[in-house]
Amino acid sequence: MTPHQSMPHHRSMPRHRSVYVNSVVNSNVVSTVHVNSTVHMNSAIFPFMLLLRFSTILSSKVMSVLPSDLSFIVK
């Protein structure tokens, strides 16, 4: 076995190890982000509900204005 043939096998070893380390780090980051998002969820729900209610009121006003605008455009 020449050194040239043994090179690819030797080179592939650290790559597998780095992939394993990356997957472990990624899983830790995902779990940390999940915990942070659940903690911040309660404080984020209230402004979101206000925004949702405001957008619903706004869309209902727009829908009530639209038919008259459309009839004006048609004429």
pLDDT digits (tens, 9 = 90+) for 1-45: 555 555 555 555 555 566 666 666 666 666 666 565 665 566 666
Which of 39-48, 50-59, 65-74 has the largest mean confidence?
A: 50-59
Q: What pTM did the predictor assign?
A: 0.26
Distance from C-alpha of 9 to C-alpha of 11, rounded to nearest angstrom: 5
Report CA dihedral (24, 26, 32, 38) to the nearest 10 degrees.
Answer: -130
| CA geometry: angle 52, 54, 55, nearest 5 deg | 65
